[in-house]
Structure 1
């Protein structure tokens, strides 16, 4: 059996706990030994925005409506005002606690971070500078994977981030790039994609193409992208086990999933099946 991919907890675990909260990351972190026992590993995907007083906090949306039921922008509240809010808009009604970027470095020193800068313009550059300071403070470049949709901020980060940080393709270029890779387009490198990033997220599918197949992964690696990540988070409460099985068989490096327990179950079943087929 090929090595199990790294499990990337999408916003922690959206199925078991409120997304991007301390409870979500603690829940996944407690299962880290179980993944490692199977030969996998755990990392966190999360989104970062700046409060009114420029404190970087973990939250996906520009507004607090979906996660906290409050019609207010993150940029309109101070950190202390946000900290007083319970992010409990969740199907299982677990309470959720706001967590800062600095706290992520404090609480989880041995976890790879797949972090997205949600700000753009001047605020995007400011947030990038805060990331740089924290990465240097915690000597964490080796475990940073950055996703920066804003092209301006992305190019700034590529120039200024500490050596060793990895970068994913900006979201605005992903679909076009993936189509080129899928068809083995030899111009993909020359168009600047290779210089822009060392990693990209391979979406499971669009309306036309199913990417979870050998030729996509092989073409990506032949073009110089050794890390291939597949999303399996099209809806909370649903994990396509067939997709995960196929991803493992292809030898992809990581999978981004909403449900940590379902992923752990699938990985355990794969290992058990392999052990039964190929006993030591």
Structure 2
């Protein structure tokens, strides 16, 4: 368990910079985050890239599914301009770009496997292999809304940490987490804002990392509840609160 709540930047400093880009990750670290949360997907030619949506429509100057493009084709696209003209020409990062960066910085990493809509073949094996290549297994947790995938990760490497993403008011999440063999639960913050739920989870030695907390009032409540990790688009705001 962590002494204080970890400040985990959601898709980097996505409140002010284009999400899931190296700029967003770097700015989050500058803003004082402890960790970075990002989303891993696979290109047509099996390169691990970081992007939240399965499609390109919202964040780029293009359309279609990431899985239909090669890495070289994706690299030609603009992943910054939709956020603002001054961010023109920002490229999609690979998982390796971020692992290399975090290795130098001692940053906690939450990798969400985006395998709920598209079941990327071999995604779990590939991500775990990369984590070991960079010798980062101690500072990485994998998460997904697809809990079958998290069970699969444990089967590949029982030492890898896993977190279960969910939005529902799950009953006794600590028992479910134990059943699935997960190290953490990653609930929407509103579903655990009750002391008794948090106490029950902690009593079973399960970590709680909540998403996506952007309001300072909610941040304060969660800090007081002793939540392990708070995932936010505004690591600067959370950093200030944690210091005080």
TM bucket, shorter chain: 0.7 to 0.9
Correspondence for 1:134: 130
Q: Distance in 2 between matches of 1:43 and 1:138?
A: 17
* 1:148–1:154 contact (8 Å) kept in structure 2: yes
Equivalent position to 1:165, from 143, 151, 160: 160
The C-alpha deviation readout for 1:71-94, integer Å capped at 9, x for no partner, is 211011110111111112115752
Q: CA deviation at 1:3?
A: 4.6
Are 1:8 and 2:3 counterparts? no
Q: CA deviation at 1:154?
A: 2.4
Correspondence for 2:101: 107
* 2:59–2:83 contact (8 Å) kept in structure 1: yes
**CA spacing shift, 1:256–1:166, aligned 2, 3 Å:** same
* 2:49–2:95 contact (8 Å) kept in structure 1: yes
What does residue range 55-204 of structure 1 map to in structure 2 within 5 Å? 55-88=47-80, 89-90=82-83, 93-95=86-88, 96-109=90-103, 110-119=106-115, 124-161=120-157, 163-171=158-166, 175=168, 177=170, 179-181=171-173, 189=175, 192-196=176-180, 197-204=182-189
Equivalent position to 1:263, from 234, 238, 243: 238
* 2:147–2:164 contact (8 Å) kept in structure 1: no
Flag the structure with larger Rg: 1
Give the unaligned 5+ runs of structure 1. Answer: 36-41, 182-187, 234-238, 272-280
TM score, norm. by length of structure 1: 0.77
Are 1:242 and 2:217 counterparts? yes
* 1:3–1:248 contact (8 Å) kept in structure 2: no
Give the unaligned 5+ runs of structure 2. Answer: none
Q: CA deviation at 1:205?
A: 1.8
Secondary structure of the structure 2 residue equivalent to 1:28: helix
What is the count of residue pairs matched by the alignment? 238
Structure 1 segments, 4+ long, off by >6 Å, are: none
